[in-house]
């Protein structure tokens, strides 16, 4: 058993609970404002609801691409360029302020009144940093002792036994031992000498380059000796094996020292730590694991096992083969079980694959440790390893790797975990079935007791629910509510009673979020049966009773009927007078504690992803996509079988997997009437698979053909028919449709708009999942479409009318919809914070005058109406031809008809994106990606139905040539790119002159020099393309007098991506340019940081026109620039 030195008086530093309180208190929007206030040049932006992304603010990192992320919900900040990491918000704020921790604490106290951060917290924080530096220094020295002993066994004789034990007894290959987090402890005097040497080396390096760290290194020799002195009373410590147990990827929680022997019990000592309240996990801080824990690629799950040697053996043999494929941590037995959840939370992990010892070990193996771990886990998802039969006769993971090899072990653990790991509830249920079936008699009380005992290790609500359902399905004598209550309360104590109250409340309410308002914290709940929101002021018994009353009624009656009074409390319903009032007060207190328990771990409303009405796709960090449909107050989660068939799950509350569905929470006046008549019932959704999409498309083509007249009538009905079917699932595509209906007065614009949203002619409405806003204002449109995916229809969208200001504001908002989503930030009038709205939905606009700005022309798909004066109204024609009943039937089919087919249509959509370049080359003229991509959704549907989508695209282009040319002849992108490439801003040291990018590209002898000028431009000889890293190129290449010199990066990117020579993001990604540019631009750039172009016009090749000569004068007049740009436009 681990020995620990005698506990000293606890120095209460900044605890991890207090650190989490700071993260919870400072909202993502507040961090956004801190960055803008102190580090505006970092170009901070949101990369998600609770994630921010910017240039690294650390002084030693000259970042040119946004590689710094702040994960506010996970409680840490990390730069993926320089590897800077901190989980301490005080340290992060001090970094932004270029100040001290004291400055950061003062600001936090002034703004948030954090009572737990007194003045003495500054001194304690400094002491905590010294404590951390001490443990890091000890570990460095111990690792060096081990490495030196491997190289020269006679150098440190006391360390030889430990090295031999690791190499010979435990079979750790010595050629990789140096790369593992392990060391050997020297004698105390030797430790002091080595620490002094370590300090002098670090200080010397800092003196040479003071930018290595904001502060000089610290001599922690005395601290280390004081930290370890008591531990050296154990004789095995000198020459003992030392493992670092990490609380975060960069912070050591404790040091674990084991005697190099196989004694039972093991010789172990762990020095007590006055500043650390977590034991830590072995492996969490190992460098090769960090790429697996990258939030952009991680699966959000990690593997847990018991012993350090289990983890160390896996590390060693995975390095021998190459690199590890999954992160494996050691919990260290029962003592570390309470620390699993907080450590996983800080690492951004949401699930654990647990690996106990094999049942082959007998009494010491199997499920004992795993059951203990699970009793402390309330929020993590858990799966248990059951694949030991394939690893016989191994008793643990260490033996399995040595006996079967790393590949065989990974095959069981990693390649297909769905076959070798089962959910915690299923694991417990299988054990319970065996135990119940072995009872001597089928006694109800005994059956419930056994079932509760076997399920008693479960703490996650979902696991308890599934376990109770499974047992109740197998045994008629056991009911779900009784079993759940028994599991929640393993003993009749106050804590157990509170757990039972919590579970009973969870049956009635879905816990959504918390909200800080007026200095008070409120718990937001959703009453499942009433389908209404409830707000309970935490720590207020009066608010509790008032808000619960409509659902639970009298609190005493509620406890009696649904919880049961505990043995230590008399039934208040049988009491009178003062005794009854005391019991009532006690019940209120326990229910208040239950509400506090419900609030544990629940995110703040400001940091929660929110969705409103319509069909939504949500991309998770692990690369998977979730599908939801919100219709009125119904929320449906669409899962897919292995064959892609939909499985519709109606949620019992507006919250799922970290996503909050706003069904009137932010606006109690919001209309939550289902947009589908009668709501999306299970029957409606299940019958969607029977809808014949092909005939429905044909009917819609006839609908638009006979009902309306278009300037390009031959092709437009097919487009509108296909697009009408696509609108309800438009959120599945990365490009949202922006359509503009234009034409003379009385040409049918408003009636066509009614076909989509029912504005003036509801009888012919086709798209139920839509909203039309009449007499709109910009603020009204922004509020109505925030997180709402329904089709937006705006009539009378005139740029020169009375609403021109609103029209321009809305137009600016929807521009971003051509690339994933649009985000708008609006400052509050009082200057305290701002509101972020997100928009991802298709849009149809209608007006006589079309778009007027160049950046809008190639975003909008123009539908031009043809006016025929003698023609009957479209509504009368359509009602006569189809009948109102058939039109209503079509609208219902359109609403749900494509839900079963989303995966197949998306597959065709992606194929069309890949084939676009080849298809574009066969057209009579080139069509810009931004314009053409608006058609991809309709084309994907046609391809899915077996229609000739290529002919459709070619005919559409030919019929709409005038409109397309108008969109593609915008000079803004050509002007900007020409100005950048012809700006003589690159200094040639050998020739003592300035040249431009175009000059260097013009000669085969100088093209490669573009890459070495640090101007943000990379020429890729393999593809004959040129790539621009905007963050680096803009300040160097955009001329000082150019109108876009000070434009935001997002606008410059937006402009350049419209250039006729621009590559699509998919083409850039597939070309391999980013990887080849890494030696010149850095290894952490992504496709979002660059734009790229076909370089032929600049290469001066015989088949291409020569680029105009570049001036070496970087201060040309505006007239000279314009002349050169006009010349550039003639050839580029």
Specify whether the CB–CB gap between 791 and 757 falls below 8 A. Answer: yes
Query: What CATH fold (topology level) applies to the domain 16-118?
Result: DNA Primase; Chain A (3.90.580)
Q: In b/e form, how buried is each residue of 346-355, taking b as 16+ CB within 10 angstroms?
A: bbbbbebbbb
Give the pLDDT score at 1110. Answer: 36
Q: Does domain 693-900 fall into CATH 1.10.10.410?
A: no
Q: In b/e form, how buried is each residue of 419-433, taking b as 16+ CB within 10 angstroms?
A: ebbbbbbbbbbebbb
What does the DSSP assignment read for 881-892? Answer: HH-HHHHHHHHH
* Mean pLDDT on 855-884: 87
CATH for 120-277 is 3.90.980
Phi, psi for 1023 (deg, rounded to 5): -110, -5
Summarize pLDDT for 108-148 with one digit per residue, the tens: 888 887 766 666 667 777 888 899 999 999 999 999 999 99
Q: Residue 1044 in 3-state DSSP?
A: coil
Strand bridging mode 861-864 / 738-742: parallel
What does the DSSP assignment read for 1058-1083? Answer: TSTTBPPHHHHHHHTHHHHTHHHH-T
Phi, psi for 338 (deg, rounded to 5): -70, -15
Specify whether the CB–CB gap between 314 and 396 falls below 8 A. Answer: no
Q: Is pLDDT of 94 > 60?
A: yes
Q: Is pLDDT of 537 > 50?
A: yes
* Mean pLDDT on 741-763: 88
Q: Is pLDDT of 1131 > 60?
A: no
- 693-900 has the same fold as 120-277: no
User: So where are the chain's domains?
Assistant: 16-118, 120-277, 279-415, 489-601, 608-688, 693-900, 971-1131
Strand bridging mode 1025-1029 / 1017-1020: antiparallel
Give the pLDDT score at 884. Answer: 93
Q: Is pLDDT of 951 > 60?
A: yes
Q: Which of 244-248, 352-356, 721-725, 1099-1103 has the lowest mean pLDDT?
A: 1099-1103
Q: In b/e form, how buried is each residue of 643-680, taking b as 16+ CB within 10 angstroms?
A: eeebebeebebbbbeebbbbbbbeeeeeebebbbeeeb
Distances (CA, A) of 58 to 45, 78, 96, 1128: 17, 11, 8, 41
As a whole-number percent, the residues of the chain with pLDDT over 90 amount to 39
Range with the largest mean pLDDT of 172-181, 591-600, 653-662, 1007-1016: 172-181
Q: Is pLDDT of 181 > 60?
A: yes
* Mean pLDDT on 576-605: 84
Q: Which of 860, 1104, 1103, 1073 is nearest to 967 (CA)?
A: 860
Q: Which of 876-880, 924-928, 1114-1118 has the lowest mean pLDDT?
A: 1114-1118
* Mean pLDDT on 423-440: 92
* Average pLDDT over the chain, rounded to an integer: 84
For tokens 């502060």, what's the residue?
215
d(CA 1061, CA 1058): 8
Q: Is pLDDT of 1119 > 70?
A: no
Strand bridging mode 421-423 / 509-517: unpaired
Given pLDDT bands bounded at 50, 70 and 90, which one contains residue 14? confident
Phi, psi for 383 (deg, rounded to 5): -130, 145
Q: Is pLDDT of 1105 > 90?
A: no
Q: Does domain 279-415 fall into CATH 3.40.1360.10?
A: yes
d(CA 33, CA 36): 5
Summarize pLDDT for 257-287 with one digit per residue, the tens: 999 999 988 899 999 888 887 889 999 999 8
Give the pLDDT score at 291. Answer: 72
d(CA 224, CA 136): 10
* Mean pLDDT on 196-207: 88
* Mean pLDDT on 902-918: 92
Could you tell me the end-to-end alpha-carbon distance of the chain, in angstroms, rounded to an integer? Answer: 76
Summarize pLDDT for 309-333 with one digit per residue, the tens: 999 999 999 999 988 999 999 987 5
Specify whether the CB–CB gap between 64 and 1082 falls below 8 A. Answer: yes
* Mean pLDDT on 1036-1045: 84
* Mean pLDDT on 766-788: 89
1111, HSE (Cβ side, Cα atoms, 13 Å): 15
Summarize pLDDT for 971-992 with one digit per residue, the tens: 578 778 888 988 888 887 776 7
Give the pLDDT score at 146. Answer: 97
Q: Record the pTM.
A: 0.54
Give the pLDDT score at 204. Answer: 87
Specify whether the CB–CB gap between 1025 and 1092 falls below 8 A. Answer: yes
**Residue 515: exposure state from Cβ atoms within 10 A (0-12, 13-18, ≥19):** middle
d(CA 31, CA 93): 9
Check residues 676 and 989 and name the one with the higher pLDDT: 676
* Mean pLDDT on 762-785: 89
Given pLDDT bands bounded at 50, 70 and 90, which one contains residue 1021? very high
Range with the largest mean pLDDT of 298-302, 370-374, 764-768, 970-974: 764-768
Q: Which of 587-596, 794-803, 1026-1035 has the lowest mean pLDDT?
A: 794-803
Q: Is pLDDT of 800 > 80?
A: no
Given pLDDT bands bounded at 50, 70 and 90, which one contains residue 504? confident
Give the pLDDT score at 1103. Answer: 35
Give the pLDDT score at 241. Answer: 97
Residue 1015 in tokens: 């101007």
Q: Is pLDDT of 5 > 50?
A: no
Specify whether the CB–CB gap between 390 and 418 falls below 8 A. Answer: no
Phi, psi for 163 (deg, rounded to 5): -65, -45
Q: How many CB atoms lie within 10 A of CB 998?
A: 25
Q: Which of 823-827, 850-854, 953-957, 1107-1111 has the lowest mean pLDDT?
A: 1107-1111
* Mean pLDDT on 416-420: 88
Given pLDDT bands bounded at 50, 70 and 90, which one contains residue 627? very high
As a whole-number percent, the residues of the chain with pLDDT over 70 amount to 88
Return all residues near 305 (Cβ < 8 A) that are at least 6 apart: 311, 328, 329, 330, 331, 354, 355, 356, 396, 397
Q: Is pLDDT of 374 > 90?
A: no
Give the pLDDT score at 115. Answer: 67
Summarize pLDDT for 343-353 with one digit per residue, the tens: 888 777 889 99
């Amino acid at each position: 058993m681990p020995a620990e030195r005698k506990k000293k008086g606890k120095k209460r530093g900044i605890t991890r609970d207090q650190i989490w309180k700071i993260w919870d208190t400072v909202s993502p929007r507040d961090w956004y404002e801190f960055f803008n206030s102190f580090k505006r040049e970092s170009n901070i932006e949101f990369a998600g609801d609770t994630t921010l992304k910017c240039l690294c603010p650390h002084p030693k990192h000259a970042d040119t691409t946004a590689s710094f992320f702040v994960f506010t919900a996970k409680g840490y900040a990390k730069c993926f360029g320089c590897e800077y990491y901190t989980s301490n918000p005080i340290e992060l704020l001090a970094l932004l302020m270029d100040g001290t921790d004291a400055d950061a604490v003062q600001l936090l106290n002034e703004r948030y009144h954090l009572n737990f951060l007194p003045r003495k917290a500054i001194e304690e924080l400094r002491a905590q940093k010294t404590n951390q530096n001490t443990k890091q220094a000890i570990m460095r020295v111990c690792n060096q002792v081990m490495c030196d002993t491997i190289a020269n066994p006679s150098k440190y004789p006391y360390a030889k036994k430990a090295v031999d034990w690791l190499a010979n007894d435990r079979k750790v290959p010595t050629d990789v031992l140096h790369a593992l987090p392990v060391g050997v402890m020297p004698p105390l005097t030797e430790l002091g000498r080595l620490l002094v040497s370590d300090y002098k080396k670090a200080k010397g390096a800092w003196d040479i380059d003071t930018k290595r760290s904001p502060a000089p290194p610290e001599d922690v020799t005395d601290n280390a000796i004081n930290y370890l002195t008591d531990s050296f009373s154990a004789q095995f410590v000198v020459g003992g094996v030392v493992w670092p147990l990490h609380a975060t990827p960069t912070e050591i929680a404790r040091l674990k020292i084991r005697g190099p022997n196989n004694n039972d019990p093991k010789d172990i000592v762990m020095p007590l730590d006055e500043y650390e309240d977590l034991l830590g996990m072995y492996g969490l801080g190992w460098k090769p694991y960090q790429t697996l824990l990258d939030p952009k690629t991680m699966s959000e799950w990690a593997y847990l096992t018991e012993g350090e040697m289990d983890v160390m053996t896996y590390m060693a043999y995975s390095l021998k083969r190459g690199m590890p494929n999954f992160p494996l941590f050691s919990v260290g037995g029962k003592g570390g079980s309470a620390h699993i959840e907080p450590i996983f939370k800080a690492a951004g992990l949401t699930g654990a694959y647990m690996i106990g010892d094999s049942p082959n070990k007998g009494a010491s193996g199997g499920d004992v440790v795993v059951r203990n771990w699970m009793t402390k886990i309330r929020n993590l998802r858990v799966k248990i390893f059951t694949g030991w039969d394939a690893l016989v006769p191994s008793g643990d993971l260490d033996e399995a790797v040595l006996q079967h090899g790393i590949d065989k072990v990974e095959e069981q653990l990693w390649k297909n975990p769905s076959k070798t790991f089962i959910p915690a509830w299923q694991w417990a249920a299988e054990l319970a079935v065996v135990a119940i079936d072995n009872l001597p008699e089928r006694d109800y009380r005994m059956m419930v007791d056994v079932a509760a005992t076997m399920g008693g290790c479960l703490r996650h609500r979902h696991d308890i629910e599934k376990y109770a359902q499974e047992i109740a399905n197998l045994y008629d004598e056991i009911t779900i509510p009784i079993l759940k209550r028994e599991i929640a309360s393993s003993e009749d104590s106050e804590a157990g009673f509170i757990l039972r109250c919590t579970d009973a409340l969870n049956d009635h309410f879905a816990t959504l979020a918390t909200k800080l308002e007026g200095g008070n914290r409120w718990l937001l709940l959703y009453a499942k049966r009433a389908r209404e929101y409830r707000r309970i002021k935490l720590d207020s018994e009066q608010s509790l009773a008032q808000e619960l009353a409509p659902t639970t009624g009298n609190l005493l009656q509620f406890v009696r009927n649904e919880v049961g009074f505990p043995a230590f409390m008399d039934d208040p319903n049988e009491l009178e007078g003062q005794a009854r009032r005391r019991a009532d007060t006690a019940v209120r207190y326990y229910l208040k504690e239950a509400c506090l328990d419900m609030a544990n771990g629940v995110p703040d409303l400001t940091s929660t992803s929110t969705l409103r009405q319509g069909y939504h796709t949500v991309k998770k960090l692990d690369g998977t996509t979730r599908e939801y449909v919100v219709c009125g107050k119904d929320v449906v989660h669409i899962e897919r079988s292995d064959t892609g068939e939909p499985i519709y799950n109606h949620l019992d509350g507006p919250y799922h997997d970290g996503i909050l569905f706003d069904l009137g929470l932010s606006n109690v006046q919001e209309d939550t009437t289902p947009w589908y008549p009668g709501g999306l019932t299970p029957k409606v959704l299940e019958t969607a698979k029977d809808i014949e999409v092909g005939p429905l498309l044909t009917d819609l083509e006839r609908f638009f053909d006979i009902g309306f007249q278009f300037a390009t009538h031959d092709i437009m009905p097919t487009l509108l028919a296909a697009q009408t079917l696509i609108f309800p699932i438009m959120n599945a595509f990365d490009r949202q449709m922006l359509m503009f209906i234009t034409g003379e007065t009385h040409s049918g614009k408003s009636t066509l708009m009614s076909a989509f949203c029912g504005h003036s002619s509801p009888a012919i409405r086709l798209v139920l999942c839509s909203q039309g806003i009449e007499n709109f204002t910009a603020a009204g449109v922004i509020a109505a479409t925030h997180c709402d995916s329904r089709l937006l229809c705006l009539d009378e969208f005139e740029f020169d009318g009375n609403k021109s200001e609103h029209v321009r504001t809305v137009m600016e908002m929807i521009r971003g919809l051509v690339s994933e989503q649009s985000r708008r930030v609006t400052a509050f009038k009082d200057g305290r914070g701002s509101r972020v709205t997100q928009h991802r939905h298709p849009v149809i606009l209608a007006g006589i005058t079309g778009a007027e700005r160049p950046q809008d022309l190639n975003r909008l798909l123009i539908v031009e109406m043809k006016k025929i004066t003698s023609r009957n109204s479209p509504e009368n024609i359509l009602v006569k031809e189809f009948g109102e009943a058939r039109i209503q039937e079509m609208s219902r089919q359109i609403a749900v008809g494509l839900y079963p087919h989303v995966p197949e249509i998306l597959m065709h959509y992606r194929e069309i994106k890949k084939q676009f370049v080849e298809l574009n080359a066969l057209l009579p003229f080139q069509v810009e990606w931004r314009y053409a991509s608006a058609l991809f959704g309709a084309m994907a549907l046609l391809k899915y139905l077996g229609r000739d989508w290529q002919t459709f695209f070619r005919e559409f282009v030919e019929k709409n040539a005038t409109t397309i040319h108008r969109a593609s002849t915008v000079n803004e992108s050509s002007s900007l790119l020409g100005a950048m490439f012809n700006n003589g801003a690159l200094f040639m040291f050998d020739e003592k002159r300035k040249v431009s990018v175009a000059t260097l590209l013009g000669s085969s002898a100088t093209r490669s020099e573009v890459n070495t000028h640090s101007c943000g431009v990379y020429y890729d000889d393999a593809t004959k393309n040129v790539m621009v890293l905007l963050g680096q190129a803009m300040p160097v290449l955009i001329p000082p007098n150019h109108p876009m010199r000070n434009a935001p990066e997002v606008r410059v990117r937006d402009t350049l991506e419209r250039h006729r020579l621009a590559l699509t993001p998919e083409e850039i990604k597939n070309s391999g340019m980013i990887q080849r540019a890494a030696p010149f631009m850095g290894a952490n750039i992504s496709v979002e940081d660059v734009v790229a172009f076909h370089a032929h016009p600049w290469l001066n090749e015989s088949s291409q026109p020569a680029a105009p000569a570049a001036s070496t004068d970087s201060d040309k007049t505006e007239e000279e620039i314009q002349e050169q740009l006009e010349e550039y436009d003639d050839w580029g």
